[in-house]
Amino acid sequence: MPVAERSARLFRPAVLVLVLAVVAAALSAESLYARIGTGSLMQALVRPGAMGEVVVHFSWLPRLVVSWLCGAALGLSGVLMQQVLRNPLASPTTLGVSAGAHLALVVATLAVPSLAVPGLAGFGREAAALAGSGVAAVLVFSLAWNKGLAPLAVVLAGMVVSLYFGGLGAILVLFNQNYLAGLFIWGAGSLAQQDWGVVLHLAPLVAAAGLGAALMVRPLALLDLDEEGARSLGVPLVGLRLAALALAVVLAAAVVSAVGVVGFIGLAAPALAMLAGARTFGARLVWGPLIGAVLLWLTDQLVQLLAGLYGDLVPTGTLTALFGTPLLLWLLPRLQRDVRPPRMAAPVLEPRLERPGLALGQVAVVLCVLLVPALLLSHHAGGWSLDVSGDFLDWRWPRVAAALAAGGLLAMAGTITQRVTGNPMASPEVLGLTSGAALALIVVVMVLPGADRPTEIAAGAAGAALTTFGLLALTRRAAFAPDSILLAGIALGALFDALVVAVTASGDPRAMTLLAWLAGSTARVGDGEAITGLVAFAVLGVAAVPFTRWLDLLPLGAVTAGAVGVDVKLARLLLLLLTAVMTATATLIVGPLTFVGLLAPHLARLAGFSRALPHLIAAALLGALVMVGADVLGRTLIYPRQIPTGLLATLIGAPYLLWRIRRL
């Protein structure tokens, strides 16, 4: 590499850090002046006396240092996870750390209600969150251990554990909103401090983790090679992966337990470092934590500026996405690296069916059989029975049809997304379409509280359409390359999700009414929406069939696909548009589901459907099967109350996938 180019790559990350630090320092100076008043900074540091000095010593200064420590810890954790898992979508939330902490804190809060009140819990909240994070991480490691902690095994186990714990937590929150309202602020990430306890806890941990990562730079850099090449150089893959992932999990768990979920930093900081020119692992290990520290520092100063002299108007974790997303999108055109999809360990062979047609027929029969109780099972004073009366069918068939259509559409969209990008963590919601629709719907509910169902659907459609156009515009120059699509979708989704979280964290009752829809509910589906969903499922499913040859070839890489006559740019564009239409249709019917589109393709692949056409059909059938089953159980398990279909689909499908991963 020429000296000038090497210098430029070193110079760009430094400039990015310097610019962010200068702006953050200016805001910090203004914030400090507003708080300390006529007091003395030196006095505030050593012996505070005046009110302003006390505030600076016990609140402002600890909060400043916590922003540095948490940002650096999350940046370092993200760099380690992305390197070990060989995936740019990996972040501190990948291994279920945040979901485990949230579930543990929800359970602990219901047992000890004082934990729900920020500032009253003390060590109890941190201990519960840390324990939940640890349980999630141990479960992920145990599931992937017999695969040698291979990247794909860890990614799949982490996704399933995260979704399962997240689903359990969401159900508890949905049924106990009055007791758990305080957790919305924790879930959005708040850096407010009352003493130096968090600093004293995090500082030695971050320093030790930085030293440990520095000692592993050379062997971790060899993970850029394929598995055989790394082994030939004497790299102990299992031990190295375990050490690096354990270090990343400890950092993430410590931050989550101390200040809540500030997840975007762990994803954005390594991406910004790479986009700014830090191509090698060693460079990212230096610049990732630095960018994370200054980004969270700047974001928290903006939070305090918006909030006024005291308190938080918007949680810091929310604003990190609002500020970091434009920066990520601005740097996106510089992306030049191709993502190498993670793989299972070499000795592991995925199952392959010799007669996929027969297996598809069996799945279809099971789905048809399940439709009988889905349509006819009723509860009355005498117990349960199969009721064929017209009144029940008129009320029930729209939600069953919606569940079937949404499950099939999202499963097909997930299959296409994972094959086009070559990334097992890709899913329809990664493209940001569901978040765009959800944000548009929330805006309508907040502005027009009495809006009817057609108005809400129109708003959601507009949000999904605008997100699609934005995604296409951002990735057009890169020929819709997988890296660009994923990072642009993540950035847009994080921006929209941050706004949604900000509204729900406010506790506004108008926004709280949408919690069930955000979890994926069929309860409000009418006849017209159900028919539309079924027609879209059939039409879009047929429309996807001619593209299956592309779906077989694109995972082999752009060069290979182009060599056999595929117009790669056109193929990616058309498949992206097809995915967008599928995702938007399903989201408008039942809400922004997170499970089916992500894991139904894996269920089909692990069942042995490897070629694109049977894989697509099997995923659609399995997605529909899981959603219909979830709809039946959701309305019957705790009758007369109902569990949102999307949440229950996660609880149904996740254990099966965990079992398949364990046996693979």
Distance CA 246, CA 243 (A): 5
pLDDT at 546: 93
> Per-domain residue ranges for the chain?
3-334, 358-663
Q: Where are the alpha helices (DSSP H) in 217-340?
A: 217-221, 227-232, 237-259, 263-275, 281-307, 316-331
Render pLDDT for 333-392 as a digit per residue (tens, 0 to 9): 655 444 444 443 333 446 678 788 899 999 999 999 999 888 887 766 566 666 666 566
Distance CA 45, CA 54 (A): 9
Q: Is the peptide bond before 326 cis (omega within 30 degrees of 0)?
A: no
Distance CA 330, CA 272 (A): 10
Which segments of 381-513 are extended strands (E)?
383-386
Distance CA 137, CA 129 (A): 12
**Residue (of 260, 266, 261) closest to 74 by Cα position:** 266
Q: Please, which residues have CB within 8 angstroms of residue 57's CB and are 6 or more apart in sequence?
A: 44, 45, 48
pLDDT at 288: 93
- Cβ atoms of 282 and 271 within 8 Å: the answer is no
pLDDT at 632: 85
**Residue (of 480, 439, 443) closest to 579 by Cα position:** 480
pLDDT at 624: 93
pLDDT at 77: 93
Q: Which of the 8 DSSP states describes residue 384? A: E
Distance CA 99, CA 91 (A): 13
pLDDT at 271: 84
- Cβ atoms of 491 and 435 within 8 Å: the answer is no
Distance CA 444, CA 426 (A): 29
Query: Burial level of 222, CB count in 10 A (0-12/13-18/19+)?
Result: middle
Q: Which of the 8 DSSP states describes residue 337? A: P
CA 219 to chain CA centroid, Å, is 29
pLDDT at 560: 85
pLDDT at 313: 53
**Are domains 3-334 and 358-663 of this chain identical in fold?**
yes
Amino acid at 230: A
Helix (H/G/I), strand (E/B), else coil: 608: coil
Check if CATH label 1.10.3470.10 holds for domain 3-334. yes
pLDDT at 341: 42
- Cβ atoms of 215 and 99 within 8 Å: the answer is no
Q: Which two three-digit tokens encode residue 77? A: 């954790």
Q: How far apart are the first and last CA of the chain?
A: 43
Q: Which two three-digit tokens encode residue 356? A: 């996929």
- Cβ atoms of 552 and 611 within 8 Å: the answer is yes
Amino acid at 109: T
Q: Please, which residues have CB within 8 angstroms of residue 611's CB and are 6 or more apart in sequence?
A: 356, 548, 552
Query: Burial level of 183, CB count in 10 A (0-12/13-18/19+)?
Result: buried
| Domain 358-663 architecture | Orthogonal Bundle (1.10)
Instruction: Report residues of the chain scoring pLDDT below 50.
Output: 116-122, 309-311, 336-349
**Residue (of 485, 484, 150) closest to 342 by Cα position:** 150
Distance CA 436, CA 53 (A): 44
Distance CA 60, CA 52 (A): 10
Distance CA 16, CA 274 (A): 12
Distance CA 320, CA 165 (A): 24
Distance CA 55, CA 64 (A): 12
Q: Please, which residues have CB within 8 angstroms of residue 286's CB and are 6 or more apart in sequence?
A: 278
Q: H or E stretch including 377? A: strand 377-380
Q: What pairing do the DSSP bridges indicate for beta strands 383-386 and 377-380?
A: antiparallel
CA 382 to chain CA centroid, Å, is 44
Q: Which two three-digit tokens encode residue 234? A: 């004497």
This prediction has a pTM of 0.75
Q: Which two three-digit tokens encode residue 90? A: 């990996």
